[in-house]
Amino acid sequence: MDETMTKPSAVVLMLLAAIFTTAEDGWCVSPDVYVRNFRDAPEAERIIAAASQIPPSRRVPFISRYFLGRMYHPDTKARITKQRSQAEAKTKVKAKAKVKAKAKAKVKTEAENVQPLPVETLTTSFTYLDCMTYVEHVLALASAERPDYTGSFLPRLIDVMFDARGMPLMNHLRSHFTSHWADVNERKGYLINVARRNKFAVMRKLLLNKVGNNRTFYVEDRFMISRAPQIFWYFPLDAIFSGEVKLQSGDILALVCDKEGLDVTHMAFFIEQGQKRIFRHASSILNRIVDQDFDSYLRAKKGLSGLMVLRPRLAAPAPPHYRFYPRER
């Protein structure tokens, strides 16, 4: 995590370090990570082997195309629907206070966990993907050194998803918010934030995860309370449509919003095919991964402030080691 998120206490970190370091020789023990099953292993290894035969600059367009037609993750869809209803409930409560409406609305309460929340099962699936996990899986596959599911792909996926640095996986170490995710993966060498201090970009500053008095609105974890505002840069839509910002095929796009406590509402890939500009993404509306016209999609999108443009670099060093086990036998 960076300085904007609450960190676990020094005592907790010392205990974790003691658990995962042997007293005899000081060698670190790889933490255990559970996945649902290893059924995606053959497919992952085939993709990595095929991608290794093409230049790194073409791997993201190649791999992202492979997933076209895969289904949108139902759990994410349910969570988005729930958050929207809670946000609407908050608005109704405000209206009730003003006009003394009769309808009762329940406001979401702040998280109360006093200890970090462990990640019980790593979220990975080649069948069901949401907009963020789609981008993360493609980036991990493109960065994998060899066609080895547990020895190369899964460690890369963890490295892209989390800022765990070899420690046991905790919910607050997951890069939940895209602007923070971009900062972490730029630091690691997976991508370049094209908008950072670019002359056509603008800056946004906000407290992530805070809506009204609730500091854990989107991610229900007290260790995800922001200590300081998150600062990030993005391109206004005018700069995108005018051609002042030169996009490259394979660029990761993050759709910036102006919502309280939230930086980005969607992620996608920009793809060029001849003269066509394509918006490739996991669509919750169409319920699958699809290609859509880039300009048409953005012009029709409501509440869109602009785009973060994250260019895959694929230069991250080898990730920390983990030991993987399937929950399903």
pLDDT band at 32 (very low <50, low <70, confident <90, very high): very high
pLDDT band at 84 (very low <50, low <70, confident <90, very high): low
The predicted pLDDT at position 88 comes to: 57
Percent of the chain with pLDDT over 70: 82
E strands, the chain, are 32-35, 71-72, 128-129, 191-193, 202-206, 230-236, 252-256, 264-273, 276-283, 288-293, 306-312, 323-326
Task: Please state, in angstroms and rounded to a whole number, the distance separating the CA atoms of residues 63 and 155.
Answer: 18
Task: Please state, in angstroms and rounded to a whole number, the distance separating the CA atoms of residues 42 and 47.
Answer: 9
Phi and psi of 326, rounded to 5°?
-85, 140
Task: Please state, in angstroms and rounded to a whole number, the distance separating the CA atoms of residues 53 and 43.
Answer: 16
Structure letter (DSSP) for residue 168: P
The predicted pLDDT at position 85 comes to: 59
pLDDT band at 18 (very low <50, low <70, confident <90, very high): very low
Task: Please state, in angstroms and rounded to a whole number, the distance separating the CA atoms of residues 164 and 175.
Answer: 10
The predicted pLDDT at position 202 comes to: 97
Phi and psi of 98, rounded to 5°?
-85, -40
- Asked whether the beta carbons of 224 and 254 are under 8 A apart, the reply is no
Which residue type does 237 have?
L
Strands 128-129 and 71-72: parallel
Task: Please state, in angstroms and rounded to a whole number, the distance separating the CA atoms of residues 216 and 219.
Answer: 5
pLDDT band at 106 (very low <50, low <70, confident <90, very high): low
pLDDT band at 101 (very low <50, low <70, confident <90, very high): very low
Percent of the chain with pLDDT over 90: 79
- pLDDT (tens digit, 9 = 90+) per residue, 197-237? 899 999 999 999 999 999 999 999 999 999 999 999 999 99
The predicted pLDDT at position 11 comes to: 47
The answer on pLDDT for 147 being more than 90 is yes
Task: Please state, in angstroms and rounded to a whole number, the distance separating the CA atoms of residues 324 and 327.
Answer: 10
- Give me 185's structure tokens: 């993966």
Task: Please state, in angstroms and rounded to a whole number, the distance separating the CA atoms of residues 195 and 198.
Answer: 5
Q: Average pLDDT of 145-155?
A: 98
DSSP conformation letters of 175-219: --SHHHHHHHHHHHTSEEETTTT-TT-EEEEE-TT-BTTBTTSSS
Whole-Å CA distances, 63 to 50, 139, 206, 246, 271: 9, 9, 34, 22, 12
The half-sphere exposure of 244 on its side-chain side, counting CA atoms within 13 A, is 12
The half-sphere exposure of 300 on its side-chain side, counting CA atoms within 13 A, is 7
Measure CA of the first residue to CA of the last residue in the chain; give whole Å: 34
Strands 32-35 and 288-293: unpaired
The predicted pLDDT at position 75 comes to: 76
- CA angle, corner 122, sides to 174 and 31, nearest 5? 85
Structural domains for the chain: 10-317 (2.30.260.10)
The whole-chain average pLDDT of the chain stands at: 88
- pLDDT (tens digit, 9 = 90+) per residue, 253-271? 999 999 999 999 999 999 9
Q: Among 74-78, 85-89, 211-215, whose mean pLDDT is lowest?
A: 85-89
